[in-house]
Structure 1
Amino acid sequence: MTQVQALVFDVFGTVVDWRGSIAADLGAWGAQRGIACDWAALADDWRARYQPQMQRVRSGAVPWTVLDALHREALEELLPKYGLQHLDEADRCHLNRVWHRLNPWADVREGLRRLKSRYVIGTLSNGNVALLVNMAKHADLPWDVVFSAETFHAYKPLPQTYLGAAHMLDLRPGELMLCAAHNDDLAAARAQGLRTAFMPRPTEYGPSQTKNLGPEQDWDVVASDFVDLAQRLGV
Structure 2
Amino acid sequence: MGSPVLPKALAFDVFGTVVDWRTSIARESAVFLAEIGMGERDPAAFADAWRAQYIAAMQGMKASGRDFVPLDILHREMLENTLRDWGADVATLDAAMLADWNHAWHRLDPWPDAVEGLTRLKARFPVVTLSNGNVALLLDMARAAGLPWDAILGAEVSGFYKPDRRAYLRTAELLAIAPHDLCLVAAHHGDLAAARATGLQCAYVDRPQEYGGAPAPDAHHEQAWEWRADSIIELADRLGC
Q: Which moved more, 1:102-111 or 1:58-67?
A: 58-67
Contact 1:108 1:226 in 2 (8 A): yes
Given candidates 214, 226, 229, the residue that maps to 1:223 is 229
Deviation at 1:45, TM superposition (A): 0.8
SS of the residue aligned with 2:127? strand
Given candidates 24, 39, 43, the residue that maps to 1:39 is 43
Determine if the alignment matches structure 1 residue 7 to structure 2 residue 10: yes
Task: Mark the CA change 1:12 to 1:31 in structure 2 (over 3 Å): closer, same or farther.
Answer: same
Aligned residues: 235
SS of the residue aligned with 2:110? coil
Deviation at 1:87, TM superposition (A): 2.6
Letter in 2 for 1:168: L
Determine if the alignment matches structure 1 residue 88 to structure 2 residue 94: yes
Deviation at 1:84, TM superposition (A): 6.6
Determine if the alignment matches structure 1 residue 19 to structure 2 residue 25: no
Correspondence for 1:188: 194
- Distance of 2:233 and 2:220 partners within structure 1: 17
Return 5+ residue gaps in structure 2 as ranges. none
CA RMSD of aligned residues (A): 2.0
Task: Mark the CA change 1:52 to 1:31 in structure 2 (over 3 Å): closer, same or farther.
Answer: closer
Deviation at 1:163, TM superposition (A): 0.7
Determine if the alignment matches structure 1 residue 149 to structure 2 residue 123: no
SS of the residue aligned with 1:206? coil
Contact 1:199 1:224 in 2 (8 A): yes
Correspondence for 1:79: 83
* Aligned-residue identity in percent: 48
- Distance of 1:137 and 1:214 partners within structure 2: 34
Q: TM-score, normalised by structure 1?
A: 0.92
Determine if the alignment matches structure 1 residue 99 to structure 2 residue 105: yes
- Distance of 2:57 and 2:217 partners within structure 1: 21
Q: What CA deviation, in whole Å up to 9, does each residue of 1:188-207 have, x standing for no partner?
A: 11111111100111111113
- Distance of 2:32 and 2:60 partners within structure 1: 32
Given candidates 208, 216, 219, the residue that maps to 1:202 is 208
Letter in 1 for 2:165: P
Q: What CA deviation, in whole Å up to 9, does each residue of 1:8-39 have, x standing for no partner?
A: 10011111111101112232455688761422
Q: What CA deviation, in whole Å up to 9, does each residue of 1:129-181 have, x standing for no partner?
A: 11111111111100001112111111111111111111000001111100001
Q: TM-score, normalised by structure 2?
A: 0.90
